[in-house]
């Protein structure tokens, strides 16, 4: 039963952190190149634009949900299962989400990379 809870927490972590990453990426694309903005308008303008972006705020909220799901997951399952499983599945989920929601060109090179990194993270933390 605890194992089912642990995998439930892993699913919640993957879903929440993928949502968060997609929203944060969307927000920063709307804000535009931070380096250019900083040079032309100053740091305060950059910070102001970022924190007033609704996608940024929703992204941070999703990341907070992911963090607390991780805490709950760690209390139900072993760290050696929850941490690598959620981290490596998040890489794959992010590649899928980036393709469909951010319309990034996820070519064969990037698919391969997502799978390699996911496998590598699982091995490192195992």
Q: Which residues bind other proteins (CB under 8 A)?
A: 21-22, 24-25, 28-29, 31-35, 50, 71-72, 75, 91, 94-95, 98, 102-110, 112-117, 119-126
Tell me the closest approach of the beta carbon of residue 61 to other proteins, in angstroms: 15
CB-nearer residue toward other proteins: 11 or 113: 113
Nearest to 28 by CA among 65, 55, 3, 60: 55
CB-nearer residue toward other proteins: 3 or 107: 107
Owner of token pair 């990379």: 113
CB-nearer residue toward other proteins: 32 or 54: 32
Long-range contacts of 49-54 (CB under 8 A, 24+ apart): 53/27, 54/27
- The whole-angstrom separation of Cα 126 and Cα 83 is 9
CB-nearer residue toward other proteins: 48 or 120: 120
Owner of token pair 């972006």: 53
69, 12 in Cβ contact below 8 A?
A: yes
Sign of the four-CA dihedral 4, 97, 101, 38 = positive
């Amino acid at each position: 039963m605890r194992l089912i809870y642990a995998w439930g927490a892993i699913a919640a972590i993957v879903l929440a952190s993928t949502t968060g990453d997609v929203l944060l990426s969307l927000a920063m694309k709307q804000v535009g190149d931070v380096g250019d903005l900083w040079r032309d308008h100053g740091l305060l303008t950059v910070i102001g634009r970022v924190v007033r972006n609704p996608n940024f705020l929703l992204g941070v909220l999703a990341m907070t949900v992911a963090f607390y799901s991780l805490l709950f997951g760690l209390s139900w399952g072993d760290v050696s299962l929850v941490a690598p499983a959620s981290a490596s599945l998040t890489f794959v989920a992010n590649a899928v989400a980036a393709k469909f929601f951010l319309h990034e060109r996820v070519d064969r090179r990037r698919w391969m990379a997502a799978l390699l990194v996911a496998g590598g993270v699982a091995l490192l933390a195992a």
